[in-house]
Structure 1
């Protein structure tokens, strides 16, 4: 009697219900990928080969495949949370053991490591003090909370519009404390090697129709360039169209600091683009570099995985870079629970690179990838699996009735 077909059908339907139940239970699990039970038929082997007369003996579970389709991406209130939009897995390390996950819910440990709820640490590339990412062997990412070192000002882009209507003055009469000895001026904060801020003020003295002398003071004191009069750092000439003709357009300002320990330094002012017109004095570009020391305030992750820190001095600096891994056969990965998979021979070796490259997806900061379980579809599948179970139970009942009929023959 063919009880075997019914029994195999009951077993298959039961395992299908287990997979459906697992999917439903993880409908709210971040980064979860639903499972799908796939079946195959069973035929008894024969030595002679019965051809078209062969009857199958039931069904079996061929494999339980995971569907790695993209889940919905939703906003998170945790800035450390990350979602992968596209292919790839976060590469995690647990005491050196590597695993992979799509769950990007991360926190910062007391040591500064980015880790998940299971204690696995996110891996990637670290950056040096200058924000240069060292691409090489992936390592556990640790957030460097050290202060950002100060940088002395070395260049100063300054684009002006000078008023050609101003009267001519005598450069030798320049006095930074007397506004009648210069035509216009502007100032900007600059920094020495220790991050102390100083005020660099530049003065413009019109000496002829298209001729201007440029002076500078450091914290109110004329700079010493060895030129006469004191504080003179250069001259500028303009043609009849008001275009600067002096080349090069740069002037060097020696900075001497009298308070605290410091390193004397020079600032190169570039007046490229400065013009002379019959209009009021104006500043259209004023960009000195350099900054004071800064303390890390917070950090965020860009789409390409760069971890960018923001400091109290207004500067930003790259602290590291998140990497992603992908596999030729993701279904070959072994699920070890806690939203993590490990590499197997069937999955192939991982292809690891930065987000957005080599076919890998982008990383979205402050986002999470929801489970890809479709509850409506799972509930329909549950009804279908239940009917399969009932139908297979009915075949066993029918076979039992037939057997009872044979037993009752006289």
Structure 2
């Protein structure tokens, strides 16, 4: 019976939907996390009677055809790249991007990754790095005798040194944006890499045309909304249950048919 296979595709689709929702809920407190959303499409149809086909020699036509679908498929689990809420911190190396742009991160293998997580720190050499020790691009080194560090909205890093009245610039934080940021590939650890779908990175600085601004002593929270995710979870669960009911009903119908032939 066709309904068995059709309902099975629905159950598999909703199982994946629940997995994506659970990952969103698990990352509700992850800095810079962008929630995922599952997109579905219907599968191929079998045409038993095409709409518009002739029904007589006098050119009468069928107003509506007969089409039987074969289920559903998952086509993507794209990111929703909306802005998360800003939360204030007490760390001078915490940065948040307000608007468009990703931080550039140098991976250990030499690749450049991109992140919205601006929870940075210093390594033993005084270089600005992520929590995993990956260097922020371009490299910025803070002198070990610096008494204070300030980072403005454009990403200019200035320090105050003993005996100097004016601040000294030690670096410039760059941002990157993409034509299709949804096409970025997730690496985990709050990192993305560019793909053919995302297009090449467009480099710039905070406040430039098309780029957001930087905010020191702040971090961007994940854009997961718990109420929406819980509502989506309930809907996915109900859809899964309805598909399982279809399989049960189809199985009972097949059993009844079998018994009729045996009788």
Q: Does 1:107 align with 2:121?
A: yes
Matches for 1:164-175 after TM superposition, within 5 Å: none
Secondary structure (helix, strand or coil) at the match of 2:147 reads strand
Aligned partners of 1:45 and 1:389: how far apart in 2?
Answer: 24
Aligned partners of 2:49 and 2:115: how far apart in 1?
Answer: 48
Name the one with the larger helix percent: 2
Query: CA 1:401 to 1:110, structure 2 compared with 1: closer, same or farther past 3 Å?
Result: same
Corresponding residue pairs, total: 245
Q: Does 1:405 align with 2:256?
A: yes
Query: What's 1:69 paired with?
Result: 82
Query: CA 1:393 to 1:110, structure 2 compared with 1: closer, same or farther past 3 Å?
Result: same
CA contact (8 A) 2:49 2:66 kept: no
Deviation string, structure 1 residues 283-305 (Cα, Å, up to 9, x no partner): xxxxxxxxxxxx52121211100
Alpha-carbon offset, residue 45 of structure 1: 6.4
Query: What's 1:80 paired with?
Result: 93
Secondary structure (helix, strand or coil) at the match of 1:3 reads helix
Q: Does 1:390 align with 2:241?
A: yes
Aligned partners of 2:89 and 2:49: how far apart in 1?
Answer: 62
Aligned partners of 2:107 and 2:84: how far apart in 1?
Answer: 26
Alpha-carbon offset, residue 354 of structure 1: 0.8
Deviation string, structure 1 residues 315-364 (Cα, Å, up to 9, x no partner): 21111110100000011100010000000000001100111102100000
CA contact (8 A) 2:46 2:69 kept: no
Aligned partners of 1:363 and 1:394: how far apart in 2?
Answer: 52
Aligned partners of 2:134 and 2:114: how far apart in 1?
Answer: 10
RMSD of equivalent CA atoms = 1.5
Query: What's 2:142 paired with?
Result: 143
Query: What's 2:154 paired with?
Result: 304
Whichever of the two has the greater Rg, that structure is: 1
Query: What's 2:202 paired with?
Result: 351
Q: Does 1:38 align with 2:51?
A: no
CA contact (8 A) 1:94 1:119 kept: no
In the superposition, the TM-score normalised over structure 1's length comes to: 0.58
Query: What's 1:10 paired with?
Result: 11
Query: What's 2:193 paired with?
Result: 342
Alpha-carbon offset, residue 144 of structure 1: 4.1
Aligned partners of 1:29 and 1:121: how far apart in 2?
Answer: 20
Deviation string, structure 1 residues 247-282 (Cα, Å, up to 9, x no partner): xxxxxxxxxxxxxxxxxxxxxxxxxxxxxxxxxxxx
Matches for 1:3-402 after TM superposition, within 5 Å: 3-44=4-45, 50-51=50-51, 52-95=65-108, 96-124=110-138, 140-145=139-144, 295-313=145-163, 314-402=165-253
Aligned partners of 2:32 and 2:149: how far apart in 1?
Answer: 23
CA contact (8 A) 2:140 2:170 kept: no
Q: Which runs of 4+ in 1 moved over 3 A?
A: 48-51
Question: Unaligned 5+ residue runs, structure 1?
Answer: 125-139, 146-294
Deviation string, structure 1 residues 161-194 (Cα, Å, up to 9, x no partner): xxxxxxxxxxxxxxxxxxxxxxxxxxxxxxxxxx
Aligned partners of 1:90 and 1:73: how far apart in 2?
Answer: 16
Alpha-carbon offset, residue 384 of structure 1: 0.6
